[in-house]
Structure 1
Amino acid sequence: MASIPEKNRQPKTIDLFIAVFCGWMILYALSWMWHDFSRYHAATTQHLFRDVEATIAQRQMLDQMPEMGQLDNACHAIRLAKIEVSLTYGLALNRDMSILKTKFDELKTFKLDELDSVNRAKLERRLTVLEADPALRSATAQYLARRMELQVRYDRAKEAYRQSQTTLEAETKKVHVALADAAPFGRTEANAQRAAIAESRLATLKAQSVTAQETVDRVQDEKRRFDEPLAPVEKRLAEREAERNKLTEAFDRYGKVATSAADASTSQPATTAGIAKATEGQGSRYRRPLLDFFSSSTEVREIALADWTAGERASQNASRTDRCITCHQGIDRAEFERAMLGKLADTDESKRLTVKLAAARQQIDKRTASGEKLGFSPENLPGDRQGGVGLCALLLLLSVLVASVCLGMLEQSWRVGFWTLVVGLVLSTMTTAGLAYLMPRVPQVKALALSPGQITQYCVHPRLDLFVGPNSPHPMAKFGCVVCHAGQGASTEFGGAGHSPHDASQAALWLQQYGGVTSGSSDPMLAARFTEAACLKCHHQVTDLIVKGNKSEAPRLVQGYQIAQELGCFGCHDINGTKEGRHVGPDMRLEPSPALELLSVTQREKAKSYQPGSMRKVGPSLRRLAEKTSEEWTRKWVLDPRGFRDDTKMPHFYNLATNRPEALPDNQKAFPQAEIAAISHYLITESKNSLQGADFTRQMLLRGKSGLESLQARLVQDGLDQSQMQELLDLSQRMTDLALLSNPIAARLINDLADQQRQLQQRLGDIARRLADLRSRGTPEESMKATLSERAVPAAELAEVTAALVKASVPVKIGDRLIGADGRPVTLSADEKGNDVAGRLLFTEKGCLACHAHEGTTKAMKRDGKTVVYSVPSEANFGPELSRLAEKLAPSTDRTSARLWLVQWLLNPNVHSPRTRMPITSLTPQQANDIATWLLAHKSEQPWPVNDPGQPSLNNLVDLARVYLSRASGVGSKELDQYMPAGEKLVGIPPERVATMSRDADERILASDIISETAIKWYVGKKAIGKLGCYGCHDIPGFERSAPNGVALTDWGRKAPQVLPFEDGAAYVRRTYHLTPTAPRSRDEIEARYKTLLTKKERSAGDEREFLELEKMHQLFEMESRTDLDDKGQDELKKRLAQYTAEKPYEELFLQSLEQRRREGYLHLKLAEPDSFDYNRSRAWDERLRMPQFNLARTRRAKGESDAAFKARSDKEEAEAREAVMTFVLGLEGVPIP
């Protein structure tokens, strides 16, 4: 049934609406496609790079063009040389050339450089007339014809002689063969006739050859006599042409390459000039949507790194794909230097080169007109098509519109107007295209302005000799980019590649241009300042990066490695260089304790089989601390080590931002004082006990039911089972190790006694096993008497050897005996006074200043107004600074003990610390006494700005002891209140509970029968030392077998940020620090940057903020340098100095990294203030972060340096040292190289 139209329905209107709507949608889709294509990063980057290539090619070619004056002089000299050759031709033909010769001699006298343009043009015309003279041309033509004739005759004679020689050689061979064949048949008449004929033939041929040779010689002589007059002038002509070719060689090479590239019509020529030509000719034609589909001028370039996998979590067969060169296309091309790219925007340089381009076209025209074959034409020179094509196109379009409207109105037909418009648009498009291609090329060199980011993107690698280059140690085909820079090499988008900004200003710029840098991967690129970290993947020794002298290929990485070595990071953090038998990084593990050098040969080889570490502890041994200083000084030192020596390696554990009393909760405010006192008490007490042979470890090893003495007694009496025997051997080894650490001077004796002890123990063990075997077989006691009697002698010897070993483990007090450089005792009276003048002189002459600094050497030493020792600069920091040594060694009145201690250190430092780096100086006792006298007589001018924290109350000690005791095994809240109730009542642990504890449990000292305030202090001190990890740097009694207590750093560089405890670190930084847009600078750098920004016409927002900071610093430096300040000015200066000194600079980039949860941000704050992650966290005392705060740079104030300048320099050096350590840690990935 047919449909019935609705009343108000208008199909044509609806169809028209749908058509218009669809047309608009299609137009919108095309516009969106156009816009999306235009913002595709890789495509737009490559398009711009093609323009950069063309511009650089233009400039390179024009830079090779010789100056017009030089080329004109060379061409003028060639023209004169050619005329001289033609005159010589005429004279050789006996022509009358006198008139022409006179004219030529006259023209030779003119110098082209000395003529103005008018006279130069006249000279050119006269030369042209002379060149066109008929007589000269005729003589030249005849001479050349005669030369050609002689050359032809000579060539024919040579060919005739060659043929005669060939024929003669062939006939000679035939004759010899015939004679050889006839020889077996004897000399018959027939053979004789044939031989005669052959010899006659040979004689004829020889005569012909001689005649041909004579002909060659005659023609050659005739040719030589003909050419002889022209040899000098032709030589001069050749020299002039060589000079001209030398000037134009490089320029011509570029022109020929451009011609060959244009003829080849390749889309990607291999040379720079060829790329420029192809880019101008066809590259830009296909840069638009749709057209790009037919012949794309862009492509994704990638490098497959088969040897490098994408990571341990990825498949081992999945190799890395590197597409960085899709955008960084100039990375391996030496001509794309940063300075060259920056000059592309220089309009003055463009104008200069445009003038040079016009001159180049004139040069080519002249050289072509002179008959020179160049191999290219002026059309091959770079330039832009111009001439008003756009204006012509606009006029044609307007004309078509007017014509279509007028015709449509006149004909009253929209169809006529429409088709007129269509035909007119087609014709105008064709006309415009024809004009564009037919328009002459105007010589012009364009300027191309690139942003700093684009310059970085397109420039060549700054170390092409070391990276990327095919002949470098790290070619791009093998290493690519991501191996060193990390990131997502498979991405072609800026954000997806994982770029990391270098500073806050760059981050802000990227936020504005790209909306920030987002990457879904946890492996972003390393920022430029940390790129050297990747060197650690292959260069595990680090020192192999120092190639020549002190020059380093990775100076920041080497500095970080050296700082980690100097400060002993490996004492707390395990840095293992091997994994599953393969090298994965630098091996920085602590050496075994005791060191291999102290062990016997047998034990040393046994220890080497376990591949132990080799790094010495960086701090001194504290076993003899009681002989060195007092408990009061130790408390002050633990509290504030940098207050005593500002460049010390010792870090700060206390009085930090989050553990100073005012920042702690009420129940922990007294803990720092109590812990410091407990640590000092433990160190001094155990040192005294160690010197007396009564330290806790020694007693634990020897005494008790399972001690060494008890086990040996049971071994002699009843024998031991296998586990007990192993325990005995382990205790004996620990006793030997303790003896070696306590008295290293007696290492040989100790090792001999230990070997004897081990042999006797094994002998007694064998006897015990034999007796057990006899008893198991029911042997009567009467029959075992012989075997039982065998025990008596080794048992007595074992007791004697053990006693001797224990005695040898106790060091001799320094007051009782001094050990010389050779390990033998020396004599020195305790009352004998040294000569401080001689000591000061010896301190300088013996080379002490090579490692140590002392403020006393910077001033001349005088006696009775006369200088007895002159001043010597003192700047070394390998060893500690010794200006305040007297305060450390003699804090009390016992100066004699301090002097003897120092004398012993100078004579043989191994007595104090067996693994010290201090060498044996071979001093005599008197010389050591003189140096010690001078060192102890000097008093530092700088006071120690810290007071003794004093002794804590018993309540505070008990509260802190309860914290540590609550962590003990089997101690709950009920047991804690029972054993250690709060308050001053001391209960202690019951004996039956103590009996169940392990042999070396620290809680044994809290037993109810021996508990006291001293015991609690000892317990808290040992627990605190174990928590803080002091044994990582120092050899401390009781911690001989303690393992590092820090996080392993072997693979920290690839640790996932998700597992890092960022806590409220960012909030702490914003509350505490003064944020700066750039890294700290020294005074000179601040002044230079301030002047640069001051003279800058236009400053960005970031520059303006930086300028305000620098202006404030500049004013402070100026105030410090003024000497005419009144009281008000001095007060203002002090106020500003105090404000500036209190400010702690923090670079914004690292705050952003911290907020974005990146490894770099966490590591930076961890090194700057490790305790800051306790901010806003409620934690028990023993759960607080343990890492102390280090002074990484250890900066010293220079002589005459102002407070503000020193603060600026120290901030800068500390920031640089921190970034160096970060570079080293970020490079620790723990992955073996392929």
Structure 2
Amino acid sequence: MPIIDAFNTGAVEIKQTWLPDLLINYKHKRVARFDRCTTCHLGIDKTQPGTADVPGFAHEQLISAAMQTPSEAPQATVAITLRQMDKDQDGLISREEATDDLRENFGQFDRSEDGSIDRDELTEGYIEQHYGLLLADRGMLADDDVTVAGVRPESPAAKAGLLAGDVLYRISDVEITDKQLAHRYLLDSVRWGEPISITLRRGLPHPYSTHPRLDLFVGSLSPHNINDFGCTICHDGQGSATSFKWSSHTPNTPFEEGEWKSEHDWFNNHFWEYPMKPSRFVESNCIKCHHEVTELEPSQKYREPPAPKVVRGFNLVREFGCFGCHEINGFDGPHRRVGPDLRAEPNYFAAAAQLLTVPGLNEQEKELAQRVIAHPEDGESRHRLAELIQADASAGEGDSSQRRFGEAAYKLAGMVGADTDTPGRYRKVGPSLRHVRSKVDFDFLYNWVQEPKDFRPATRMPQFFGLNDHLLSAHQPTARGEAEHETGSPDGGGETANNGNHKGLHEAERFEPVEIHGIVSYLLAKSQPFEYLGRPEGVIEAPSAERGEWLFETRGCLACHKHEKFPQAREDQGPDLSRLGSKLRTPDGQSWLYSWLRDPSRYHARTKMPNVFLEPIRETVKEGDNARQIVTDPAADIAAFLLASQGWEAKQPPRVDETAVDELAHQYLTGSGTTRVQATRYLKEGISSSLASELAGDEVELVVGEGEPITIEHKLLYVGRRAIAKYGCSGCHDIPGFEDAKPIGTGLADWGRKDLSQLAFEQISHYIEETEAGAEHDIYAAVKDMDPDKGYFIEQLLAHQREGFIWQKLRAPRSYDFKKTENKTYNERLRMPKFPITPEDIEAVATFVLGLVAEPPAARYIYEGDARQQAIVQGRQVIDMYNCAGCHTLDMETWEFD
């Protein structure tokens, strides 16, 4: 670099890595990267002698130790005694001033020309004598750092784990700022015979330390060596900068930000669009190249997890079914992969199931539909079924009376026969609701939709209703805050806000029960018949809950499910089955449970639950001296055990407010393009059946027969259908009538690069000020006293950064409507529900989503692996999907010894 070299005094050599194939997007052009990070980070790739991947200079960390003290105070060794002997206060003690025992040891220490000895030197001599600890004259990086120069083997210091180079950071919870303070707390303020607690700073801070994972990054033998990958492709930042403040480092906490501002003149450079990821999000960029994500889990070669947080975030997105609303399309066209791909599989099986309800199907068509339901990947059966039904449409052209089917059937056939170049791979995460009437009653379903965790505290289903904290006034108490309803803590912003929105709260209290009534009414009305399995012949024993409990434990149920009878069970692949008897209260519900246990796919073809072959068991039992043959039904026994668990009672649903039903239905109608006059007429008279063929939307629920009046049931079905579409219920559940529904949320494939101006922060700063600032009403001052993680995110939120936006969106999703609902209709409000996730889960999900940038590097950098590695990744995905590790040991236990 001739120009830069011309201004270089020679004190610093500019080091540069040129990466011509790793381009950076400057909007008008993509240009090669120049990373000059090693100008300062000189030791980033240094290894210990004789090793290829052991860091030469470990990064600084705090280590706690306990060092044993002598059983009694050594004579004349404590600092106060030495100070008393130092009559001239000059730090020197003469032979005459010394006590007898000191005089005996004078020869061990260097003396001045007049025969006196330095008091500090004498003190350190006794520290070395009694602790085996030798302190350096000054620190390596800061003169006042009290640094360990050496440790005598088998000494108390050695047994406590102290090493040369350690800095004494705290002794007995007192910060050590100089050697005199260390002397005092090692020799003076000591309870002799008891261990003293020491906190050590071990290693070197940036920029002096080595990368901690040389087996993975930077090292010459690593898969990401520095000459090929550089630094900024993983870390972001301004790689061409040659000073700290222009490199766009990002602090990890508010405290670190304060340090950087005072020590390095740090500032947030808004003009650089790719600031460095803070350490909490450093793993997010892994998915630029590792699109399957699964390959980032521990492997035979890399036992230590390469990127545990981003993998956890990926798994949470997968398990909670976020892709049901927020499609993550990892493809740009049929062949170009741009990132992780999380999309629901094509809805072939649901379309085929709905076709089975159409009158007029012949036996061949029914058989093909059943085959598509069981095997939607069978393209030949799909195409044949679609051809047969669409042929009927062609045969009836010009004469509709010749057709066997209506337009709905032809539309379903088109869905069954449709192909896509890059179909999604993930099943919907919720249970099928196609036959829900065969399972539960109205009261349970109402309570479940209203608040899922009331019945099942550990459910994954999110909360849609009752998230109204952002609408409450200061004088209105709340029992369940939006952000605290899952954690039980106001940490999530659950405190009541001032200046509440009375219109918004009034509408929520009126319309939410109507929506729940409508949803439940629709699901039960559209539920399709389900044929329960009969009991096998030859079973002579009545069902036994006692036998069922034993079978539940021994047949592998605990590999996926929790139950209150087995508190040691921890797996959560399936739901917690405690209190199931309170859910399945009807005879139909109990018959459903038996059928489900015998053959889960009979009820839901795409369920992940296996058929565990609960066939009748023949055995011989002894009764005194006699023995007899019995036949038991294990499915009936397990059902008896599960149904015996109760302890929950459904609350009585409120009566329907018919005026509120009309108002909400009117809003839905006018919002979809119907005039106000028409909407009023439809709700008063219904829609004539003669117009039914012209209706393409949800208004079909308002169609009435000639001369028939419209009823509240019609209106509830309409409201329910609109509410299901509004909240995206079909993103997780198979629901009749929603076979062609699309995801309702924002696509996330490139959210990590989404322009900040497109994020609707709205009045969130005011919401945070009112809920988090406390009595002083200064949120910026309050941040300093917060937990560092929470403080970091609130700072990012107030600064309108995407890290803060997603944190608050996951923590209290409706809070962005604060002071906005006064000018919104009820159906224009934010709809995202609150998921039952912890703060750690939120950060993991944010790590994954922030890595979705849809900017893959050149093809040679994208991880693909050889055939064996690809098979391992695909196999791991199948294992994760079906929870094979719940029953089978896939890895032997490992033990680590310090």
- Check whether TM > 0.5: yes
Task: Please state if 1:921 is matched with 2:647.
Answer: no
Task: Please state if 1:480 is matched with 2:230.
Answer: yes
What letter is aligned with 2:743?
P
2: CA distance, partners of 1:579 / 1:1181 = 36
Task: Please state if 1:1158 is matched with 2:801.
Answer: yes
Cα shift at 1:634: 0.8
Task: Please state if 1:972 is matched with 2:692.
Answer: no
SS in 2 for 1:669: helix
Kindly report which structure 2 residues correspond to 1:845-884, keeping only aligned pairs within 5 A, or say none: 845-858=554-567, 873-884=568-579
Corresponding residue for residue 106 of structure 2: none
Asked whether the equivalents of residues 910 and 916 of structure 1 are also in contact (C-alpha less than 8 Å), the reply is: yes
What letter is aligned with 1:1017?
L
What letter is aligned with 2:18?
A
Corresponding residue for residue 534 of structure 1: 285
Corresponding residue for residue 338 of structure 2: 584
Kindly report which structure 2 residues correspond to 1:1138-1157, keeping only aligned pairs within 5 A, or say none: 1147-1157=790-800
2: CA distance, partners of 1:631 / 1:1166 = 32
Q: Alpha-carbon deviations, 1:967-987, whole Å to 9, x = none?
A: 223x1233334434xxxxx33
Corresponding residue for residue 14 of structure 2: 300
Corresponding residue for residue 724 of structure 2: 1025
SS in 2 for 1:455: coil
SS in 2 for 1:548: coil
Kindly report which structure 2 residues correspond to 1:66-77, keeping only aligned pairs within 5 A, or say none: none
Corresponding residue for residue 425 of structure 2: 614
Kindly report which structure 2 residues correspond to 1:138-217, keeping only aligned pairs within 5 A, or say none: none
SS in 2 for 1:319: strand
2: CA distance, partners of 1:1066 / 1:963 = 31
What letter is aligned with 1:930?
D
Task: Please state if 1:1190 is matched with 2:835.
Answer: yes
Residues 1005 and 456 (structure 1), Cα distance of their counterparts in 2 relative to 1, 3 Å cut: farther
Corresponding residue for residue 888 of structure 2: none
Cα shift at 1:1003: 5.5
Residues 999 and 979 (structure 1), Cα distance of their counterparts in 2 relative to 1, 3 Å cut: closer
Q: Which runs of 4+ in 1 moved over 6 A?
A: 340-343, 443-446, 450-454, 659-662, 1101-1104
Corresponding residue for residue 219 of structure 1: none
- TM-score, normalising length: structure 1: 0.46
2: CA distance, partners of 1:952 / 1:650 = 25
SS in 1 for 2:25: coil
2: CA distance, partners of 1:1162 / 1:535 = 21
2: CA distance, partners of 1:298 / 1:853 = 62
1: CA distance, partners of 2:139 / 2:611 = 72
Task: Please state if 1:333 is matched with 2:144.
Answer: no
Cα shift at 1:512: 3.0
Corresponding residue for residue 901 of structure 1: 592
Cα shift at 1:1181: 1.3
Kindly report which structure 2 residues correspond to 1:586-735, keeping only aligned pairs within 5 A, or say none: 586-595=340-349, 597-599=374-376, 600-603=378-381, 610-658=421-469, 664-687=504-527, 690-691=528-529
Q: Which has the larger radius of gyration?
A: 1
RMSD value over aligned CA atoms? 3.3
Task: Please state if 1:1223 is matched with 2:847.
Answer: yes
Residues 905 and 302 (structure 1), Cα distance of their counterparts in 2 relative to 1, 3 Å cut: same
Cα shift at 1:472: 1.1
Cα shift at 1:637: 0.6
Q: Alpha-carbon deviations, 1:197-234, whole Å to 9, x = none?
A: xxxxxxxxxxxxxxxxxxxxxxxxxxxxxxxxxxxxxx
Q: Alpha-carbon deviations, 1:408-444, whole Å to 9, x = none?
A: xxxxxxxxxxxxxxxxxxxxxxxxxxxxxxxxxxx99
Cα shift at 1:340: 8.1
Identify, as 1 or 2, the structure richer in helix: 1
Q: Alpha-carbon deviations, 1:169-217, whole Å to 9, x = none?
A: xxxxxxxxxxxxxxxxxxxxxxxxxxxxxxxxxxxxxxxxxxxxxxxxx
SS in 2 for 1:586: coil
Asked whether the equivalents of residues 533 and 1223 of structure 1 are also in contact (C-alpha less than 8 Å), the reply is: yes
SS in 1 for 2:814: helix
SS in 1 for 2:446: helix
Structure 2 residues without counterparts, runs of 5 or longer: 49-54, 63-135, 146-200, 350-371, 384-416, 477-500, 617-632, 776-780, 859-898
2: CA distance, partners of 1:995 / 1:609 = 30
Residues 604 and 534 (structure 1), Cα distance of their counterparts in 2 relative to 1, 3 Å cut: farther
Corresponding residue for residue 356 of structure 2: none
2: CA distance, partners of 1:503 / 1:678 = 46
Residues 1224 and 295 (structure 1), Cα distance of their counterparts in 2 relative to 1, 3 Å cut: closer
Cα shift at 1:490: 2.2
Cα shift at 1:853: 0.9
Asked whether the equivalents of residues 1167 and 1218 of structure 1 are also in contact (C-alpha less than 8 Å), the reply is: yes
Asked whether the equivalents of residues 496 and 519 of structure 1 are also in contact (C-alpha less than 8 Å), the reply is: no
Residues 449 and 604 (structure 1), Cα distance of their counterparts in 2 relative to 1, 3 Å cut: farther
Cα shift at 1:632: 1.0
Corresponding residue for residue 856 of structure 2: 1232
SS in 1 for 2:33: strand
Cα shift at 1:928: 0.4
2: CA distance, partners of 1:934 / 1:1033 = 29
Asked whether the equivalents of residues 702 and 714 of structure 2 are also in contact (C-alpha less than 8 Å), the reply is: no
Q: Alpha-carbon deviations, 1:486-544, whole Å to 9, x = none?
A: 12222233333222111121122223332533331232111111111111011111111
Cα shift at 1:623: 1.2
Asked whether the equivalents of residues 774 and 782 of structure 2 are also in contact (C-alpha less than 8 Å), the reply is: no
Kindly report which structure 2 residues correspond to 1:210-609, keeping only aligned pairs within 5 A, or say none: 295-311=9-25, 313-316=27-30, 318-334=31-47, 447-449=140-142, 455-513=205-263, 514=265, 516-548=267-299, 551-580=304-333, 581-595=335-349, 597-599=374-376, 600-603=378-381
1: CA distance, partners of 2:752 / 2:59 = 36
What letter is aligned with 1:876?
E
SS in 1 for 2:348: coil
1: CA distance, partners of 2:783 / 2:758 = 37
Residues 1038 and 293 (structure 1), Cα distance of their counterparts in 2 relative to 1, 3 Å cut: closer
2: CA distance, partners of 1:1012 / 1:992 = 18
Corresponding residue for residue 366 of structure 2: none
Asked whether the equivalents of residues 654 and 660 of structure 1 are also in contact (C-alpha less than 8 Å), the reply is: no
SS in 1 for 2:20: strand
Asked whether the equivalents of residues 889 and 898 of structure 1 are also in contact (C-alpha less than 8 Å), the reply is: yes
2: CA distance, partners of 1:990 / 1:538 = 57
Give the length in aligned residue pairs.
605
Task: Please state if 1:950 is matched with 2:595.
Answer: no
Corresponding residue for residue 960 of structure 1: 664
SS in 2 for 1:1045: coil
Residues 584 and 950 (structure 1), Cα distance of their counterparts in 2 relative to 1, 3 Å cut: same
Asked whether the equivalents of residues 979 and 987 of structure 1 are also in contact (C-alpha less than 8 Å), the reply is: yes
SS in 1 for 2:566: helix
Structure 1 residues without counterparts, runs of 5 or longer: 1-42, 44-266, 268-291, 344-442, 692-810, 819-824, 859-872, 981-985, 1077-1100, 1110-1144, 1193-1213
- TM-score, normalising length: structure 2: 0.63
2: CA distance, partners of 1:1044 / 1:530 = 27
Asked whether the equivalents of residues 540 and 586 of structure 1 are also in contact (C-alpha less than 8 Å), the reply is: yes
Asked whether the equivalents of residues 320 and 429 of structure 2 are also in contact (C-alpha less than 8 Å), the reply is: yes
Cα shift at 1:1227: 1.1
What letter is aligned with 1:904?
S
Asked whether the equivalents of residues 522 and 1056 of structure 1 are also in contact (C-alpha less than 8 Å), the reply is: no
Residues 603 and 326 (structure 1), Cα distance of their counterparts in 2 relative to 1, 3 Å cut: farther
Identify, as 1 or 2, the structure richer in strand: 2
Corresponding residue for residue 379 of structure 1: none
2:813 pairs, out of 1166, 1170, 1175, with: 1170
Cα shift at 1:1068: 1.9
Cα shift at 1:1035: 0.3
Cα shift at 1:448: 2.9
Cα shift at 1:565: 1.1
Residues 295 and 1173 (structure 1), Cα distance of their counterparts in 2 relative to 1, 3 Å cut: closer
Residues 339 and 548 (structure 1), Cα distance of their counterparts in 2 relative to 1, 3 Å cut: closer
What letter is aligned with 1:516?
F
